[in-house]
Structures are given as structure tokens and as C-alpha cells.
Amino acid sequence: MQSKPNAGDVARISALDAEITSATNQLEQLRSQSGTIEQAIKALEQKILDIGGAKLLTQKSKVDGIKLHINLANDEITKAEVAKAKAEKDASKLETALQTHTSEFADVEAELKQLNNQLKEVADYVAELRSKVEAAQTAAEYSKDDLENLNTELDEKTEEIQEFRKKEVRSNLVLLLQRTDLCRELDGTSTAP
């Protein structure tokens, strides 16, 4: 069941209808006036083109061309700024990598120096041992047992030297590989666009 609108609502609806009708009439009047104004503007534009149209079109074309060049230049500037930021970031990464590899290189060099010192000590010991072996060989008729012990000790030390040399070669190889990797990284960075 619908209730009937009261007299106040009916009056309000009538007033709103009247306002809508009035606003619609004003809108139509404004539209007709704006149509007249638009026609006047088009007529003025045509007169301007008739008077200096070619020159105006040339100037407008130049302005449009300059705007296009400005937009292209702005795009290039943006691309260059992005490339610069990327290059700075890459440079920072490579600086960090270089410092890390330099530190590792220094550690490997220190270890190599230590191994070389140990090798010298072992070589000196072996030389001393050989001189003892030679002395023992000259006195072989006096002490065959001593000679066998010295030969055994010489063999053991020779094996230790061979093991030590293997370590040295391995360390040199690691050092060479690290240097090669560092050079490749540096070369890869300098050739990157």
C-alpha cells in the first residue's frame, strides 16, 4: 500500500519541476548563444588564416617542431640519468668486489709467502740431511743400520717436500685463478654499455 504524498511534498515537487524547466530553458539559450560564439570564433580564425595564414601556419609548425625536439631531448635526458644511476650502482658494486678480491689476494699472497718460507726451511733441512746421508754413506761399513735410518728419514722428508710443493702449486693456481677472475670482472665492467 502506497501512501499519498502530503500537500507539502506535492508543492515541493511542483517547485522543483518548475526549477528544472527554467534551468533547461536557460541551458538551451546558453547553447544557442555558445553556438553563435563558436561560429564567430571560427570566422575570426578563418580571417586570421586568410590574412597571414601561411606565415601563421609556418610559425605554428616551427613551434610544434620545437616542442617535439624538447620532448625528445627530455626523453634522452631521462634515459641518460637512468643510465648514469645504473653505471654508478655498477661502479659501486665493482669497487666492493675489487676490495674483496684485493683482500683475498693479500691473504693468498701472505699464505704463499709463508709456504715459501716453510719450503726454504724444508729444503735447508733436506740439504743438511743429504750431507748427513753422504757422510753416512762414506761411513757405511761402520754403520749400515744408521744409513738405513737416514735413508728412510730422507724418503719421508722427500715425500713431505713433494706434498709441500703440491700445496705450493695448488696455492699458486688458486692465486692465478683469482687474479684471472678479477681481471675478467674488470674487463667485463669496462666493456659494458
Choice between 90 and 191, residue whose per-residue pLDDT is larger: 90
- pLDDT tens digits along 104-163: 888 888 888 998 898 898 889 888 888 887 887 676 666 667 667 778 888 988 998 898
For residue 52, what pLDDT band results from cuts at 50, 70 and 90?
low
Alpha-carbon Rg for the chain, nearest whole angstrom, is: 49
Question: What percent of the chain is modeled with pLDDT above 70?
Answer: 86
Residue 185 CA to residue 96 CA, distance in Å, equals: 12
Packed helices 144-191 and 7-138: angle between N→C axes, nearest 10 degrees: 150
In a domain, 13, yes or no: yes
**How many domains is the chain partitioned into structurally?**
1
In a domain, 3, yes or no: no
Choice between 88 and 55, residue whose per-residue pLDDT is larger: 88
The amino acid at residue 63 is V
Q: pTM of whole model > 0.75?
A: no
At 98 the pLDDT is 80
Q: What residue numbers bound the domain in which 40 lies?
A: 8-191
DSSP string, 132-173: HHHHHHHTTTT-HHHHHHHHHHHHHHHHHHHHHHHHHHHHHH
Burial of 132 (C-beta count, 10 Å sphere; 0-12/13-18/19+): middle
Which residue is it, cell 689476494?
105
Considering the chain, what is the average pLDDT of its residues? 81
At 157 the pLDDT is 87
In a domain, 66, yes or no: yes
Residue 80 has pLDDT above 60, yes or no: yes
In a domain, 95, yes or no: yes
For the ranges 29-43, 74-88, 131-145, the lowest mean pLDDT is seen at 131-145
Cα–Cα–Cα angle for 156, 161, 166, rounded to 5 degrees: 125
Residue 25 has pLDDT above 80, yes or no: yes
In a domain, 1, yes or no: no
Identify which of 20-24, 95-99, 171-175 has the greatest average pLDDT: 20-24
Residue 44 has pLDDT above 60, yes or no: yes
Which triple of cell numbers denotes residue 120? 726454504
